[in-house]
Structure 1
């Protein structure tokens, strides 16, 4: 097993409330063909799509699986977004579902939501405004002997369940469902940090969707991003490799698509993807 510094990582509480979907006075979303559409989008409680389900075969835009939370205080929400990590335990602390536990499944930039998996039974008891506490744990995680690999946005317990191995050449082998080339990465490129939020795989090219099996993607899938450097900000860098998790659905807008929250990145080819059908956080979390 890989050695990490997990025993030194601080665990803190961050908190937000279930955030209602919002719609402006102009309810239309303009798709990549210039056509106005009215669709469900971000926020609220999404009852019928969860991690492990298709993020492509649905009628919606930027759909967030499960429960979406936010803090009305901007600085506190920044902390919620930055410190929450995929796989962190989340607990409902108000409302009829008080005491229910789930897992963080991603952070969605722009709308600035933290996304959380809960069981269907628990979600039926929830309401907009219910408060949810996250036991934030994971930022600062390091792999011993891999100083050129940056870890981010992942709970140490989930990291260990991924089954990442070091091969004979000193490369980290990570289970993934597919590899995505840098030229398909769109909205979010150029962000100053990958330690919060996500960025999108562009899905406007049908041939690329088939070639890289993007059309098969599910919420929670692990993917490899080729020539994508996320060690600091998000940029193209030949030879770099990043690993991320699909956090939100496909989108109709130009430059958008399934959102990826990055969990590993290296400026050098220290990471190799091993194609694995079950490379999805729902499988590793046992939900």
Structure 2
């Protein structure tokens, strides 16, 4: 069965920003961990050379680290447009600096710091500098599925949707996923006013529960099912709801935090069926 959509009516528009230098939060240099210890760790922003799509989110010593390139617009209103209009899978191109002309794509969004995250080839990362400008061909907001009008798509490029192997199974939209996450493990970001931007975190302080749920080997770029999670008009719990998201940043040390998940699909009704598939990852779908 062909899954039809309205992509021919969508607008493609330019959005742009620049590579954002790493920052330190208002709490100062040290971060208090959920076990009461503290330390100095790499965190948000910059160009991350050795954290990539497909890597395990728990392997490096870090906190909220973003793989690849972290981008932001200096003008707050223009940055709001950047994180709202850009979609995961959108094409990106470096337009200044020594890596000018290099092509990449959007991998996710990080709320709070309001970063747009991007993949670029490894050889280009060494040529990039904070401040280099990046242009994105934003395309995908307003996308909807003809046969599933109740399912809200929240920031995914139609071309990525085509690569995800969607199908219809027993009247539901079947989506290949690397893992299924129960609602009781979702933490920081609950209660946000929009599911169309940013992310929210899988809580990871209870390692035994992560192992029990099969979440101890999550990777950057994994496509995941969020059970009983409603991300249509905000982020919260709703029995029977389900959402599809992408793992976008590393594990975290702060209580209530963990790997970030940007949502791309949500429904208040039980119309999304997650089908476990170890290859459900952006790295596989984008051929990198």
**TM-score when normalising by structure 1:** 0.98
Q: Note the residue ranges of structure 2 that are not aligned, 5 or more in a row.
A: none
Q: CA deviation at 1:23?
A: 2.2
Q: Secondary structure at the match of 1:91?
A: strand
Aligned to 1:67: 69
User: 1:102-251 maps to which residues of 2 (within 5 A)?
Assistant: 102-167=104-169, 169-251=170-252
Q: May I ask how many residue pairs the two structures share in their alignment?
A: 286
Q: Can you list the C-alpha shifts for 1:49-102, whole angstroms capped at 9, x where unaligned?
A: 111111111110001000000011000000011011100000000000000000
Aligned to 2:253: 252
CA RMSD of aligned residues (A): 0.9
**TM-score when normalising by structure 2:** 0.98
Give the stretch that moved more between structures: 59-68 or 49-58.
49-58
Q: CA deviation at 1:45?
A: 0.2
Q: Secondary structure at the match of 1:256?
A: coil
Contact 2:3 2:147 in 1 (8 A): no
Contact 2:53 2:220 in 1 (8 A): yes
Q: CA deviation at 1:145?
A: 1.4
The runs of 4+ residues in structure 1 deviating greater than 4 Å are none
Aligned to 1:15: 16
Aligned to 1:271: 272
Q: Note the residue ranges of structure 1 that are not aligned, 5 or more in a row.
A: none
Aligned to 1:101: 103
Aligned to 1:46: 48
Aligned to 1:79: 81
For the structure 1 residues 128 and 7, does the alpha-carbon distance in structure 2 shift closer, same or farther, using more than 3 Å as the test?
same
Q: Secondary structure at the match of 1:107?
A: strand
Q: Secondary structure at the match of 1:213?
A: coil
Q: CA deviation at 1:210?
A: 0.1
Contact 2:107 2:117 in 1 (8 A): yes
